[in-house]
Amino acid sequence: MNYSHLGIEADGGSRGNPGPSGSGAVVIDEVTGLVLREISMFIGIATNNVAEYTALKAALVEVRKINPAAKISVRMDSKLVIEQMSGNWKIKHPDMRALAMEIQGIASGLDVTYQWIPREENHRADALANRAMDEQADRTVDTTTTSMHPSVVEFNSEKPSSVRAPGHVDAPLTTVILVRHGRTKLTEGKKISGRGGENPHLSELGREDAHKVAKALAKIGTEGQYAYLKPPSAIVSSPIQRTVDTANIIANQLGLEVSLDEDIAEISFGDWDGHTNEEVAEQWPQQWEAWRGSWTVSPPNGESLQEFDERVMQARKRIVGQHAGKTVVVVGHVMPIRGFARYAFDGGVSAYWATQIAPCSMTIIRMWGDQATEVVTVNDTNHL
266 is catalytic: yes
310 is catalytic: no
Give the contacts of 34 (CB within 8 A, at least 6 positions apart): 28, 143, 152, 155, 157, 228
The three-state secondary structure class of 38 is: strand
Q: Determine the Cα–Cα distance for residues 249 and 94; give it in Å rounded to an integer.
A: 43
What is the DSSP track for 167-204? S---SPEEEEEEEE----HHHHTT----TTS--PPP-H
The three-state secondary structure class of 158 is: coil
Q: Determine the Cα–Cα distance for residues 216 and 47; give it in Å rounded to an integer.
A: 30
Q: Determine the Cα–Cα distance for residues 372 and 369; give it in Å rounded to an integer.
A: 7
Task: Output phi, psi for 301, to 5 deg.
Answer: 65, 20
Strand partners, 201: none
Question: Of 9, 266, 303, 374, which is the active-site residue?
Answer: 266
Q: How far is CA 357 from CA 199, 320, 335, in A?
A: 20, 21, 9
Give the contacts of 340 (CB within 8 A, at least 6 positions apart): 176, 178, 312, 316, 330, 363, 365
> Measured at the alpha carbon of residue 59, what is the angle toward residues 58 and 65, in degrees to the nearest 5?
95
Angle between helices 305-322 and 334-345 (to 10 degrees): 80
Question: Of 52, 121, 181, 333, which is the active-site residue?
Answer: 181
Q: Determine the Cα–Cα distance for residues 217 and 331; give it in Å rounded to an integer.
A: 12
Catalytic positions are 181, 266
